[in-house]
Amino acid sequence: MTDYGESFASALAAELRAQKARKKVSDDQISQAVGVHRVSVSRYLTGERPIPMVVFADMCRFLEVSPVKVIDNAEQQARGDA
């Protein structure tokens, strides 16, 4: 992965963590809502593992945030605009 790709993936995980905090939900609640193991959710949100697109979409829906907004915010962070 390129430096930008790594930065973007890290920023994407950070943006999802911020949305998780905004909604005041746990990894376990996300896990149940999107149908993946809690440990996987934790690894996605820490940036330890890449987030599959279908899981990303389901997480955004559960967190009631537009995937486009999450991606835009992550891109700005990765470019250093934020």
- All domains of the chain in start order, with CATH: 3-79 (1.10.260.40)
Q: In this predicted structure, what is the pLDDT of residue 63?
A: 98
The tens place of each residue's pLDDT in the chain, 82 residues long, gives 678 888 999 999 999 999 999 999 999 999 999 999 999 999 999 999 999 999 999 999 999 999 999 999 999 998 887 5
Q: Which of 12, 25, 19 is nearest to 53 (CA)?
A: 12
Q: Where do the H-state alpha helices sit in the chain?
A: 3-23, 27-34, 38-46, 53-63, 67-79
Tokens of 20: 């998780």
Q: Which of 59, 10, 7, 6 is nearest to 33 (CA)?
A: 59
In whole angstroms, what is the distance from residue 73 CA to residue 43 CA? 20
